[in-house]
Chain A
Amino acid sequence: MKLPIYLDYSATTPIDPRVTEKMMSYMTQDGIFGNPASRSHSFGWQAEKAVDNARNTIAELIGADPREIIFTSGATESDNLAIKGIAYFYSYKGKHIITSKIEHKAVLDTCRYLERKGFQVTYLSPTKSGMIEVEQLENAIRSDTILVSIMHVNNEIGVVQDIASIGELCRQYNVIYHVDGTQSVGKLPIDLRIIQVDLLSFSAHKIYGPKGIGVLYVRRKPRIRLEAQIHGGGHQRGMRSGTLPVHQIIGIGEACRIAKEEMIIEMERVRKLRNLLWNGISIIDSVYVNGSLENSIANILNVSFNYVEGESLIMALKDIAVSSGSACTSASLEPSYVLKALGLNEELAHSSIRFSLGRFTTSEEIQYTIELVRKHISHLREMSPLWEMYQQGIDINSVKWKNS
């Protein structure tokens, strides 16, 4: 077993060797390196054919038509293109957008930008377990609402939203529905022939493909229009100009092919490992799951360890690579906005750890992680005045803190 152990698959994944191998033959002189937009020679034709094949594979994974797949530089660009593109194209119909407080920054910051451009945005609050309620959404829809953007799987807590019901509701009110599917595509089955999602963003590097490539699915029936954000040679039906990065597209195509074949078995295996991890650490006193284990994707486990502080915990766990909701790991001094939106108090938000498992996680690694966490939680608690107070039966919330 190699240290440190990588348990941050929701941040990014290593590229599957099968993917890199395929990409390698689309870069050099002895491979297919042409520009798919070159119509006058075989180099271009071969590249175009390779891109078409990849597009078909990607479309198959999500139940789409290949003409509905737009390549971007990643999910952040896809989110930007979807939200700005719809807002500007349909602004004649209305200027109201609905999203949630637990979206990724790529969605939230884009919405904030549109607010400065004269749009109005409603930010829905999740329940304590991280769900966006369909009734709450319905109440927020107005006659001038043009777009709803609610993610599929939350990147911090792994909670899965009911995108099928949200899609149905949006269709009923004739509102366009965008889904940030960065954490779900390739991990959960998605069939766009059945669910009424109009736009879907995702990226390759979360599913064992390369960084720097993503997709925006744009529905054709009923037809969704959007205003391009990057102008140029009119590539990809004018929706996103720029020479197609063939090797990257081959990479995301192969990643999607593998995902379609293996995701059911892989996610079952990962679920068992996640349960093993939770069973191992839940016996520690005052440990809580953030979000909901029942309603969560199998590869993410977000837990708070009360009475220890997040960054010191990350330092203690230096042999495992995980993320923290603590402010101390970032430049800002605010703890995770997602955990705060769930109503978590700041102490618990500070002491949260996100474990995210993946294709290459082993049970040996999980066992090691359990031992490490147990050992260091008890060490840090011996050092913690809050733990001492808790054991003496003092209610920490009743203490009047100076400096607060």
Chain B
Amino acid sequence: MSYSKKVIDHYENPRNVGSFDGTDSTVGSGMVGAPACGDVMKLQIKVNQRGIIEDARFKTYGCGSAIASSSLVTEWVKGKSLEQAEKIKNIHIAQELELPPVKLHCSILAEDAIKAAIADYKDKNFTH
């Protein structure tokens, strides 16, 4: 498997690895994938009172492009509103990282992780 320089850079120097306290109401957490499929992504966003994502963290179990995809989206969501972050599509991630076709599912998973984290945040803050 030959990866682009961007994938290798994110893999070797992953951005924003870690966890926030999942019970904090300003935090939205998304966990997608399954161990049996070889990929699990956990993405957490911290949202301020103006509805802007001011910080993000990830942990990923998966191949190099899964780690790179999740590392990349933690950079991308920072500073964005929830609406803007929701517009990040797997195709953008795949293009930025020049993912080979067999690795497209990693970018799809990263998009799902953003959506899951936002949904969790909204669930905590808006439905009750």
Residues of A within 8 A of B31 (CB): 385
Binds A, one of B32-40, B47-55, B89-97, B120-128: B32-40
- The 8 Å CB contact of B63, one of A328, A345, A347, is A328
Q: Shortest Cβ distance from B25 into chain A, in angstroms?
A: 20
Complex: chain A residue closest to B17, CB-CB: A383
Residues of B within 8 A of A331 (CB): 102
Residues of B within 8 A of A403 (CB): 32-34, 37, 109, 112
Task: Provide the bound-state CA to CA distance between A184 and B70, in Å.
Answer: 44
Complex: chain A residue closest to B109, CB-CB: A403
Complex interface bits, A352-381 against B, C-beta within 8 A gives 1, otherwise 0 = 000000000000000000000000000000
Q: Which interface residue of B17, B42, B64 has the most chain A CB atoms within 10 A?
A: B64
Task: Provide the bound-state CA to CA distance between A331 and B103, in Å.
Answer: 11
Q: Shortest Cβ distance from A275 into chain B, in angstroms?
A: 30
Q: Shortest Cβ distance from B101 into chain A, in angstroms?
A: 11
Knowing A350-B38, A383-B17, A386-B35, say if A311 contacts B64 (CB, 8 Å). yes
Complex interface bits, B55-91 against A, C-beta within 8 A gives 1, otherwise 0 = 0000111111011000000000000000000000000
Q: Shortest Cβ distance from A314 into chain B, in angstroms?
A: 9
Task: Establish whether residues B36 and A383, one from each chain, have CB atoms under 8 Å apart when the complex forms.
Answer: no
Task: Establish whether residues B59 and A388, one from each chain, have CB atoms under 8 Å apart when the complex forms.
Answer: yes
The interface size bin for chain A is 20 to 34
Task: Establish whether residues A308 and B61, one from each chain, have CB atoms under 8 Å apart when the complex forms.
Answer: yes
Q: Shortest Cβ distance from A105 into chain B, in angstroms?
A: 20
- The 8 Å CB contact of A402, one of B19, B34, B62, B63, is B34
Residues of B within 8 A of A345 (CB): 36
Cβ-based interface call for B45 (8 A): no
Q: Shortest Cβ distance from B53 into chain A, in angstroms?
A: 19
Those of A266-320 within 8 Å (CB) of chain B: 307-312, 315
Complex interface bits, A386-400 against B, C-beta within 8 A gives 1, otherwise 0 = 111000000010000
Chain B residues with a Cβ under 8 A of chain A: 1, 11, 14, 17, 19, 31-42, 59-64, 66-67, 102, 109, 112
Extra inter-chain contacts (7) besides given A311-B1, A386-B61, CB under 8 Å? A308-B61, A309-B38, A312-B11, A328-B38, A347-B35, A384-B60, A385-B42
